[in-house]
Each structure stands twice: as C-alpha cells, then as structure tokens.
Structure 1
Amino acid sequence: MRKLTPLMPAFAILAAPMLAVVPLTPAVAQQRHNSNAPIDFGADQIQLQDKANRAVLSGHVVVKQAEMTLTATRMTVTYTGQVIGGNPQVSRLDASGGVTVRRPDQVARSQYAIYDLNRRVITMIGAVSLTQGGGNTVNGGRLTINLDTGRAVIDGSSVAGGSGGGQGTGDAGGISPRGGRVTGTFSVPKRN
C-alpha cells in the first residue's frame, strides 16, 4: 500500500433537505479519530491526474487511516498541490460503489461517501445503513460522521430530494426507509 501523508483537508457536506434526524447516543459514540495519520491505500488501478491535483483509484479500493478502513469500487483522491516530505497533502476522498466505512464497533454502508479531511467529516449518501456494536442498526438516506466528536447523525433525506434513500442494497436487517424516514432496530438488554 502507498502512503499519502500528511492528511489535512476536507469533506464537503451535501445540502439536502433534512426530513428526520436521529443523533446516536453518547454511549455509542466513537473515540476521536486521528485524521493526521497517514493514509494507506490499495487498488487494482490508479490514474494520476497531477495537473488537476487528484488521483483516481479503481477496483477493490481499500483506504486505511489509523483505526478506520474505507472500501469502495472507485475513489477520487483530491490533494492541495502542496507536497511535504515528498507526499501530496490530501484534502478530500470521494468514494462510490458499495462504500463501507469500518471503525471500532461501527460499520456504515452507502452508495457514495465524501471524506472531508479539513472538516474531519464523512458524509455518506444513498441507501445508508449504520450498524453499531450490540446489533443497533439505523437506515436512512444520508449519514454524517464527525470524526472529532464521534457523533453520527442519520436522516431520511436523499441526494435528489426524493422520497428517501432506501432504494438499493444498503438496507441492513431487511428494513429500508420509506418516504424520507429513518428506520432501524435497537437492541434491548436482557432483563430478569
């Protein structure tokens, strides 16, 4: 795997109407992510577009940063044009096709994702599912993960402003959002 270091830049938040918002409780919040850690990547193919300050990775793309792994079919890596220590300064990752973000005790899936390294935010859109330890699963149209706070917010909005993001393959647990709603399952501890 090749390293792109140091990480600095950004994920742009997509503007879509908020239909329903479910903030996850602090009990399931993740630790602060080290967004300054090097990014290691692997892919079947890479196309460097130096004049445009980007690289396009395709085929079984795997990107690792600290404890987080992002996989997709295709990913565009945007960098600032600055090179420090022989490494381009990455600002944004745009992923598409079966996107999965794995963090300790948390797996998120969607059709598309944007990792804004400057804002330290990952935005996932299209048939989103978020599964946390203990079997908690939430489905919706858009998920925003703040890597500084560990807070994840999922809503029922979709990219095109349609009737929710539940179309496609991302419905975990057989539950998919309808009409811009957030759906899911929370586990309940056994009681005597």
Structure 2
Amino acid sequence: MRRTLALIALSSALAGAAYAQTAHNSTAPINFSADHIELQDKANRAVLTGNVVVKQAEMTLNSARMTVAYTGQIVDGSPQVSRLDASGSVTVTRPDQTARSNFAVYDLNKRVVTMLGAVTLIQGGNTVNGGRLTINLDTGRAVIDGNSVGGGATGTKSSGGRVSGTFSVPKRDN
C-alpha cells in the first residue's frame, strides 16, 4: 500500500513538472512583433528577427529569430500559418510555467511544440532539464528526453543524455 501511494505521489509530481495543464486554445489568432520582418511570398514564409515575440491565447514564445511558414491560403485576409521555427534563446511561457531551449518548432497542424537543446522547464518550485521537450497543446501532456535530435557543436544534446531536475517538497504542519 505504501509503495502504491509513493508511486501515485511521484506520478503527480512528475505530471506537474511535465507541463500538464488545461488544453491550449491553438485556434486563437497569433500576434507577433519583431525588430525586422522579411516576407518571402514565393516561398510562403516570413522571417522575423530581433526580439521576436509571438502570442497565442495565454502562451507567449520569445526568440532571437523565427521563420513563419504559411500555406499560401488566405482566410479573412490573413495567411494560414502552418509552422513556426524559432532559434536563439527560445522561451515559451504559459500560466505558471516557463520552458527555455536553444530551438523550438511549433507545428500548428499537429498542435505540438517541440523544444530542443539545453531544455529547462520550470513550474512552481519544480525544475526539469533535458535535451528535448515535446508539448501536446491539446492534451497538456509533455515528454522530456535526455537526448535530442542532433548533438555536438550545435548544443542540442544535453550533458550525459539524461533528464535531471528538482522537485519541490510540500511544507508539513508540525
């Protein structure tokens, strides 16, 4: 019985540290700002550089550079965005949670954010580090791996290929 309770407590702590929360409104409009934008209409993309800030509902993505891929279809006067590729000090924030990495890809069709390279996820007093973080925005489920795709000189592989972190312990009344 104690072992079962301990496993339930550990599972709850891991779920809390693994970005679990209510589903994200991935159909909300995406607002952006940057120091510079280059439209590449023939390639159906835009390149944002310098202090890039992208907001969708309660989620904000900051980076030094971002490539926005769109389908070429226009709905209500706006191009339909299919993918965001961010690089350079990437930060994704949602209520009570912050994730940092070297690179991130937001696949709007799959509603998945994948963060790569020196990933740190912070929620409350919990911190988890790894090489790759995959967040399903519909379910709130996240998976952190020790290794990420690539490695070596690009900085996309975590030290030792393991997930590490710190979980906070609730204070107990005496």
* Structure 2 letter corresponding to 1:114: V
2:93 aligned with 1:112, yes or no?
no
1:151 matched to which residue of 2?
141
Q: Offset at 1:164?
A: 7.4
Gaps of 5+ in 1: 1-22, 167-177
Q: Alpha-carbon deviations, 1:99-156, whole Å to 9, x = none?
A: 00000111000000000000000000000000012x1000000000110011111010
Helix, strand or coil: the match of 2:160? coil
SS, match of residue 179 in structure 1: helix
Cα offset, 1:30, TM superposition: 1.2
Q: 1:24 to 1:53 in 2, by over 3 A?
A: farther
Give the Å deviation of 1:159: 2.4
Q: Which amino acid aligns with 2:121?
A: L
> How far apart are 1:158 and its partner, in Å?
2.5
Counterpart AA for 1:78: A
Matched position secondary structure for 1:30: coil
1:137 paired to 2:127: yes
- Alignment correspondent of 1:12: none
Question: How far apart are the structure 2 equivalents of 1:26 and 1:184?
Answer: 13
Match of 2:171 in 1: 190
1:78 alignment counterpart: 69
Per-residue deviation, 1:26: 5.7
Give the aligned partner of residue 3 of structure 2: none
Contact kept? 2:150, 2:156, Cα under 8 Å = no
User: C-alpha distance in 1, partners of 2:156/2:89?
Assistant: 18
Aligned counterpart for 1:165 among listed residues 152, 157, 164 = 157
- Asked which structure has the greater CA Rg, the reply is 2
After superposing on structure 2, the runs of 4+ consecutive aligned residues of structure 1 that deviate more than 2 Å are 161-166
Q: Kindly tell me the number of residue pairs found equivalent between the two proteins.
A: 158
C-alpha deviation, 1:29, in angstroms: 1.4
Gapped runs of 5+ residues in structure 2?
1-12
SS at match of 1:25: helix
> Cα gap change, 1:48/1:87 in structure 2, threshold over 3 Å: closer, same or farther?
same
**Kept after mapping to 2: 8 A contact 1:156/1:180:** yes
Task: Return the TM-score normalized by structure 1.
Answer: 0.78
Is the 8 Å Cα contact of residues 150 and 157 (structure 2) preserved in structure 1? Answer: no
Q: What is the correspondence of 1:30-41 to structure 2 with a 5 Å cutoff? A: 30-41=21-32
Instruction: Compare the two structures and name the one with the higher helix fraction.
Output: 2
Q: Name the structure, 1 or 2, with higher relative contact order (CA <8 Å, separation 6+).
A: 1
TM-score, structure 2 length as denominator? 0.86
